[in-house]
């Protein structure tokens, strides 16, 4: 990588970001992987964030273990709290770089990354590392990543385009691929996986229930508030002006109270067996 994963992660790890990521669950965000988890699976969760998906994995593998892996100590601290709050103790917490995993070859049954490769300038290097630490003869690598071009809001409001355009531009500026979800099969092939052992699909984040709409609207509004990391990056990069970001914040507040509001974004999903 040209720079560290931490500096490339455009949102940073402040409380408003970790709060948003804590909304994620294995049932919704890793449904493509969950059927492959055994009670005794040894799992590495790269980019675990606040650990909500990781903790769900730990509950699915009570006789196995989960390693929560993050570049951010703040995220790891939140993940430790998540596990303790659920009385789950079959986990370790490790800080490091996804392209330089500090584990022996063939250490894990499953290696999982949720919205990680989309933020890496060299996702193939990360996939090679994920493959290396996966057990031969059936170990599984899983990744889910957005396709930013698919982001859509209803009702249409040009002010809301700041989210798609600003994040797309900011990710691309780091050297990463904002459309990573469509590239997963190609990246897995380049990383050394056999085509016949690769399965790719897609799913959609779709927020339409009142609770989900209020969550998403308030989350996006808070993450673009004055002084946040992503707002600063978007304005400095020239992807939106301060006034345009203020317009986005106002539009989010209106959108989350709009009857019939909907948000959607396509995600690519990769399963690759070693």
- The domain ranges of the chain are 5-273
8 Å CB contact between 50 and 75: yes
The partner residues of 269 in beta bridges, in order of sequence, read 144, 201
Torsion of CA 210, 211, 214, 215, to 10 degrees: -150
Total residue count of the chain as it appears in this document = 274
Which residue in the block uniquely carries the two structure tokens 């709290």?
81
The residue among 107, 105, 132 whose CA lies nearest residue 42 is 107
Residues 6+ apart with CB under 8 A from 196: none
pTM of the model: 0.93
Query: What tens-digit pLDDT sequence spans the chain (274 residues)?
Result: 233 444 467 676 667 666 666 678 999 999 999 999 999 999 999 999 999 999 999 999 999 999 999 998 989 999 999 999 999 999 999 999 999 999 999 999 999 999 999 999 999 999 999 999 999 999 999 999 999 999 999 999 999 999 999 999 999 999 999 999 999 999 999 999 999 999 999 999 999 999 999 999 999 999 999 898 899 999 999 999 999 999 999 999 999 999 999 999 999 999 999 9
pLDDT at site 1? 28
Residues 169, 188: Cα–Cα separation, whole Å: 24
> Residue 8 is encoded by which pair of tokens?
């490339």
- The CATH class of 5-273 is alpha beta
Residues 128, 189: Cα–Cα separation, whole Å: 10
> Residue 5 is encoded by which pair of tokens?
């994963």
8 Å CB contact between 217 and 256: yes
pLDDT at site 157? 98
**Beta-strand relationship, 110-114 and 91-95:** unpaired
Q: What is the DSSP letter of 226?
A: T
Report helix, strand or coil for 88.
coil
Residues 104, 135: Cα–Cα separation, whole Å: 10
pLDDT at site 9? 73
The residue among 257, 255, 236, 235 whose CA lies nearest residue 245 is 235
Report helix, strand or coil for 63.
coil
pLDDT at site 23? 77
8 Å CB contact between 8 and 174: yes
> Residue 260 is encoded by which pair of tokens?
């019939």
List phi, psi (to 5°) of 190. -65, -30
8 Å CB contact between 96 and 67: no
Residues 162, 151: Cα–Cα separation, whole Å: 11
List phi, psi (to 5°) of 100. -140, 65
H and E: helices and strands count for the chain: 11, 8
Taking the CA of residue 262 as centre, how many other CA atoms within 13 Å lie in the half-sphere pointing to its CB?
Answer: 9
């Amino acid at each position: 990588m040209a720079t560290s994963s931490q500096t490339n992660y455009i949102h940073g790890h402040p409380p408003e970001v970790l709060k948003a990521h804590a909304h994620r669950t294995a049932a919704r965000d890793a449904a493509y992987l969950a059927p492959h988890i055994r009670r005794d699976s040894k799992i590495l969760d790269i980019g675990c964030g606040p650990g909500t998906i990781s903790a769900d994995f730990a509950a699915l593998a009570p006789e196995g273990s989960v390693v929560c892996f993050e570049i951010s100590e703040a995220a790891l601290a939140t993940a430790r709290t998540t596990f303790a709050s659920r009385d789950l103790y079959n986990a370790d917490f490790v800080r490091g770089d996804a392209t330089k995993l500090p584990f022996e070859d063939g250490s894990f049954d499953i290696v999982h990354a949720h919205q990680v490769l989309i933020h890496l300038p060299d996702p193939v290097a990360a996939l090679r590392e994920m493959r290396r630490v996966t057990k031969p003869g059936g170990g599984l690598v899983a990744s889910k990543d957005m396709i930013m071009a698919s982001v859509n809001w209803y009702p249409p409001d040009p002010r809301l385009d700041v989210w798609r355009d600003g994040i797309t531009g900011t990710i691309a500026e780091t050297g990463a691929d904002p459309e990573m979800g469509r590239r997963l099969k190609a990246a897995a092939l380049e990383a050394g996986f056999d085509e016949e052992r690769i399965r790719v699909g897609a799913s959609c984040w779709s927020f339409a229930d009142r609770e989900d709409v209020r969550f998403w609207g308030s989350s996006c509004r808070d993450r673009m508030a004055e002084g946040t990391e992503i707002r600063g990056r978007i304005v400095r990069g020239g992807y939106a002006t301060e006034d345009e970001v203020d317009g986005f914040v106002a539009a989010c507040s209106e959108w989350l109270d709009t009857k019939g509001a909907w948000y959607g974004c396509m995600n690519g999903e990769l399963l690759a067996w070693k």
